[in-house]
Structure 1
Amino acid sequence: MTSNLERYAERHTRAAGVATAVAVCVCALFGAQISTSESAPPRTLWPAWIIVVSCAAVPAARTRPRATLAVTTAAAAALTAMGYLPSPLLLAPVMAALYWLAALTDSRTTGVGAAATVAVLVATSLAGAPLGDDFLLRTAGTVLWLLLPVSLGGMSRFRRAYIESVKARAAHAERTREEEARLRVAEERMRIARELHDAVAHHMAVAHAQAGTAAHLADAHPEQTRKILADLVGTTSSALLELRATVGVLRHSAGPDADPLEPTPGLDRLPTLVAACESAGLTVTVSTEGEPQPLSPGVDLTAYRIIQEALTNATKHAPDHTARVRLRYDSSQLTVTVANDGTPSGGTPPPVPGGGYGLMGMRERAHSVGGDLRAGPRPGGGFEVAAALPFRPRTPADAPAGPRPEDTP
């Protein structure tokens, strides 16, 4: 009920102010008729006019609570000084002003205003009538009646502050949810972009090299050309399968009738990857150091994709058409190194494969499992990609700290 009245008063401020002024005016006029045997107020029209002036100031309490309290207190002090009993009806305009002062201002301002009002009214009430049986009504009664609107106004202020804080927290939570949703969408788009890049760019680069080699050897070596063309069919088939698996991730939420996903590639497919690169003219040597350890699916996929992208770059840029892959298993991590030698004698340096999204994608993959990746030219010539990957994924914050070389010299 109270909240409904407050909402109505907020929507119709002027009407609520006029209604409040009329109500307190009626109360004050009735209060002026109350007296005791010790009180002998004058029977003139002046008190009525003072009451009307005091009540006329009440509608301004919402915008000027201090000025309204000063006017109503002065009017009430004049009435009590004439001998009128400070009953709650007579003090209605002052009580309304105190309520809005407590509801709209801070606690210090409210305390000072309430204390000054109580002191003035008690002093004028005692001065306007002789001490008698109504002493408690003029002192303790005045204090209690004036403290009532102060407490109600303070409760109203605290309730509004609480509601505003709840609304602020709700708005903040809504913004946080929207930002989190956008972040998840961006991360998912980045992941899909990496998968598409790795699946399409590698196979297309190998297929392009295979087709070029087959065209070059078609007349002089038909048997070797047929073998390369057969490998080209396998390369394009692998590209289609990986592309289908990647697109299947997007369709996975369609329901149980969606196409089953292909197994995630890992280091067990390394021989097939090496064979495809060799058919494109790249000589690849693979060495393993240490005892192979089981890898989590995420780390296994990351290691495979890093080697795949590095061999793709070597297929396109290595001047000697050779690449060396080294897998070193330590106590807690796998170190993957893919390197190629420098420029042949009399040749020109190849472009550094750092201008596209390949190195960026490799580094993002390594960081996603808590590892690190270094890529750049080798001191003796050539290019090297080295990644340190934990056997089990960690958060990027747990990755070993240290300086990272730049992608380009």
Structure 2
Amino acid sequence: MAARLEQYADRRPWLTDGAIVLALLGGAILGANLATPDGDRPKNVWVAEVLAVVACLALFRARQHPRITVVVTTACVVTTGGMGYLMTPLLLAPLMVALYWLAARTSSATAWTYGGAATALVVAVAIGFHIDGSVLLRTVGPALWLLLPLALGSRSQLHHAYLDAVRARAEYAERTREEEARLRVAGERMRIARELHDVVAHHMAVANAQAGTAAHMLDISTETSRKLLADLQGTTSNGMLELRATIGVLRHADGADADTLEPTPGLAQLPALLEACRSAGLTVDLQTAGAARELQPGVDLTAFRIIQEALTNATKHSATPKASLQLAYDASRLTIRVSNETSDASSRREDHGGYGIIGMRERAKAVGGHLEINGSSTGFEVLTSLPLHIGPPALPYIATEPGR
């Protein structure tokens, strides 16, 4: 209920202030007509009533100019007290409201400085020049009535500051969530782009090499051409199946229809990859050092995709139909070395880097590994070091280099 009243007052400040002023004006006029305990009533009541009207009307500017309002209401109250009127809460009410707005709208130092001065003046007028047994009552009463709105106004200011801080923290948390969501979306886009690039680029490169070889051998050996075309059909079929599996994983990320999807590629599919390269005219010499270790799924996929991309580049740019693939296992890491001979032109193209090389670097970095590209006028080498066990995930790296 109190919260709704406060919201209503904030939406309609002039109407709220008008109601408060009317109520205070009625009380101030009533206080000006009260008699003292001895039955005496000061003369010139109309002057006190005029001062009460001025003090109440000044409250319309209390929100915008709290200091001036306190000065005006203090002057009116002190003048009324100097005329001999009893300092009752009815006469002090306009000053009390002004002190409340002063404490709620200004700093604590300003509020207590102005409030202390106003309280001291009112108490001094209340004491006057007659020191008797009622001096304590005439002193403590006005002081407490004037210090109360200062405390309430300070509490209101602290409450609003707390609400503003809570609102700011909520907005910051919302912005943080949005930023995190954007980073996740960017990372997911990069992952999708890498998967589609690896699938499409490899199979299309192999299919292009197979088609070119088949066309070249068509007039020389019909049997060889027939076998190459059969391999071409298998390459394109495998490419479509793997592309469908990749898109299926993205489409059914919640695990639905998981049984219908192909298994995630890994080094277990390496023989099929080497056979596809062989059918495209690239012979790969595979050498393994150390005992083969079972890899975590992320490392296994990363190793396969890096080898696939490196051999795809070798298929397109190798100066000879040969490439070398070396796998070296040790206690904690897997080292992959793919090398081939290149012509000067292809070597210069490799030096610039492209989406394929960028993708390999990103994959290696994502699992805590490292990838180096070593190119010269006669050879090209991809050297990768991958951990056998993945540590804490890193933030996604978004590449901005030009593509190949």
TM-score range, shorter chain: over 0.9
- 2: CA distance, partners of 1:350 / 1:62: 76
Aligned residue for 1:363? 361
**Which amino acid is 1:386 matched to?**
L
Identify the residue that residue 47 of structure 1 maps to in structure 2: 48
Query: Match of 2:17, as an amino acid?
Result: G
- Residue 389 to residue 254, structure 1, CA distance change in 2 (3 Å): closer
- Shift in alpha-carbon separation, 1:151–1:82, aligned structure 2, 3 A: same
CA RMSD of aligned residues (A): 2.2
Task: Please give the residue correspondences for 1:185-224 in structure 2 after superposition, counting only pairs within 5 Å.
Answer: 185-224=185-224
Partner residue in 2 for 1:260? 260
* Conserved? CA contact 2:373–2:381, under 8 Å: yes
Q: How has the CA–CA distance of structure 1 residues 393 and 39 changed in structure 2, closer, same or farther, with 3 Å as cutoff? A: farther
Q: For the structure 1 residues 253 and 327, does the alpha-carbon distance in structure 2 shift closer, same or farther, using more than 3 Å as the test?
A: closer
CA offset digits 1:316-372 (Å, max 9, x no partner): 0111222111111122111111111243xxx75554234431011111111111111
- The CA deviation string for residues 162-198 of structure 1, in whole angstroms up to 9 with x for no partner, is 1111221222222222222222222112111111111
Which residue in the other structure is 1:391 paired with? 388
Judge conservation of contact 1:245–1:262 (CA < 8 Å) in 2: yes
Q: State how many pairs are aligned.
A: 396
Calculate the TM-score normalised by the size of structure 1: 0.91
**The 10-residue stretch of structure 1 (364-373 or 182-191) with the greater mean CA deviation from structure 2:** 182-191
Shift of 1:10: 1.4
Q: Does the 8 Å CA contact 2:70/2:98 hold for their aligned counterparts?
A: yes
For residue 349 of structure 2, what is the aligned residue in structure 1?
Answer: 352
Structure-to-structure mapping, 1:206-285, within 5 angstroms:
206-253=206-253, 256-257=256-257, 260-285=260-285
The structure-2 alpha-carbon separation of the partners of 1:349 and 1:196, relative to structure 1 and needing over 3 Å to count, comes to closer
Aligned residues of 1:214 and 1:228 also touching (Cα < 8 A) = yes
Q: Could you tell me how far apart the structure 2 residues matched to 1:134 and 1:159 are?
A: 38
CA deviation vs aligned residue, 1:266-291 (integer Å, no higher than 9, x gap): 11111111111111111211111112
What's the counterpart of residue 115 of structure 2?
A: 114
Written as runs of structure 1 = structure 2, the 5 A alignment for 1:9-48 is 9-37=9-37, 42-44=42-44, 45-48=46-49
The CA deviation at 1:396 is: 6.0
Q: Structure 2 vs 1, CA of residues 35 and 138 (structure 1 numbering), >3 Å: closer, same or farther?
A: farther
Change (3 A) 1:407 1:58: closer
SS in structure 1 of the partner of residue 161 of structure 2: helix
- Alignment correspondent of 1:126: 127
CA distance in 2, matches of 1:373, 1:395: 19
What is the identity, as a one-letter code, of the residue corresponding to 1:51? Answer: A
Are residues 1:377 and 2:378 paired?
no
Secondary structure at the aligned position of 1:62 is classed as coil
| CA 151–174 in structure 1, closer or farther in 2 if over 3 Å, else same | same
TM-score by length of 2: 0.92
Q: Distance in 2 between matches of 1:214 and 1:393?
A: 43
Q: Equivalents in 2 of 1:137, 1:76: separation in Å?
A: 18
Amino acid at match of 1:361: G
1:32 Cα deviation after fit: 2.2
Contact persistence 1:337–1:385 (CA under 8 A)? yes
